[in-house]
Amino acid sequence: MHESIYDAASRITPVCALDWTMRRSPEWLQSDRKSSSIQPQTKNQKSMKNILENVRVLDLTRVLAGPWCTQMLGDMGAEIIKIESTDGGDESRKFPPYFTDSAIHDEGEGINDPGLTAFFVSCNRSKKSVALDLSTAEGQEAVKNFVLTSDVFVENFKVGNLARFGLDYESLIKINPQLIYCSITGFGQSGPMAAYPGYDILFQGMSGAMSTCGLPDAVPGGAPMRTLLPYTDLLTGMYACSGILAALIHRNNSGEGQYIDLALLDVSLAATAYIGSGYLATGISQGRVGNSGVAAAPSGVYPCADGSVIIQCNHRHWFMFCDLLKREDWKSDPRFSSIANRLANGPILDAMIKEVTVQYKKAQLMELVGSAGIPCAPVNTIEQAFAEPQVIHREMTCTLPLPSGGSVQVVRNPLRFSKTPTVMGPPPRHGANNDELLARDS
């Protein structure tokens, strides 16, 4: 008989359910995680307030991919200690966009909070900040003291840089063998480009992703195009978070820490998904199709009298769509009789649809198509997106406190746990927790 997932789960002691005092002692670092002192969670055991409430993360990352990862861990209750340089800290503290007077609420200093820009706050909430000079013996010793009581170490330095300070994986597992150490770099720890720096747009181009975005070459203005949203950075942060959570489960079961090598180039290639797999299967590279689809038709952006609407139809939806637009003749047209035929005749079909949709207002077309169960959505600006009734209903913005006592509106974490909700705390001022944490961990 197969063991159910619930039976299997009952045998695993959540890493954050273990006694904090025992886990922070020197004996814990050397103990066998399978010893009788660690018991499976029982049905009567008190639920934890946050999933990661007893996990400590040492965060030596900057800008976006790494901070995005550690922010997610912080939202789930982990203690995030952000180690920053003494000369201004994370460079994103100076990146635009900057807060405006209208964005700040209450009586705090608001935009006078030093080093708190909209960019920085977007990926550094729920953290503490310690400013250290890692080139000094004192700074290195402080980090090692933190490592003694940390579960996770995340860094995005260039390959080999931290080894100069004795803060590489091989050095740190000598003082904490159960440490989970995650390195985030542009090209990974090995290979001919391992030492190269890199930013999101480089990986959009190098992975082939840009070659699939934009208008085809045959269309005026056709050329490879990036997406302004830094999806490689964000996905890398999410992969790092997932990998760390998996490593925590592995450590909980085996007592072993481990090293995670994560590269933005690898993530960007993995994100090509079925397009990348399609090339490996057929040897054919997917070209650019603008806003059209490659697996369904019609699929695209269609103009209305007051904007545009996205509509995508599977084969069943196609016939419903024809009925809704009162174009029975399209259903019998051999050019549109199958998905393959509609894809082959996509430009002709799109032109015919646009002649009809432009006669509707956005709201009218959305109601007509959406109420029939056909996937559709408006093309919004960012401002319009936050004004969407569904977005408002889902409470996708929240008020985040600032260190000064003011507050600002931010996008909330989309995770919705039924037992252990995410908690979004304030972003830190540069070095705000030096006195508290250095005294505690010295």
User: Would you please indicate which residues are annotated as catalytic (active-site) residues?
Assistant: 233
Distances (CA, A) of 347 to 327, 354, 378: 17, 11, 21
Asked if 120 and 420 count as a contact pair (C-beta separation under 8 A), the reply is: no
What's the farthest any 2 CA atoms get from each other in the chain?
A: 79
Helices assigned H by DSSP within 284-405: 315-324, 328-332, 339-344, 346-357, 362-370, 382-386, 389-393
Q: Which residue, chain included where needed, has tokens 């399978």?
A: 34
Helix 65-75 vs helix 231-254: crossing angle, to nearest 10: 50
Sheet with 307-312, strands from edge to edge, namely 299-304, 307-312, 376-378
Query: What 8-state DSSP symbol labels residue 296?
Result: S
E strands, 156-284, are 180-185, 258-263
The Cα-based distances of 169 to 28, 153, 182 in angstroms read: 19, 9, 9
CB within 8 A of 84, min separation 6: which ones? 62, 90, 129, 130, 131, 132, 430, 431
Q: How far is CA 60 from CA 85, 154, 160, 181, 238, in A?
A: 9, 6, 14, 11, 17
The tokens describing 72, both together, are 């997610």
How many Å apart are CA 96 and CA 91, to the nearest integer?
Answer: 11
Residue 393: how many other CB atoms lie within 10 Å? 8
Question: Cβ(244)–Cβ(213) under 8 Å?
Answer: no
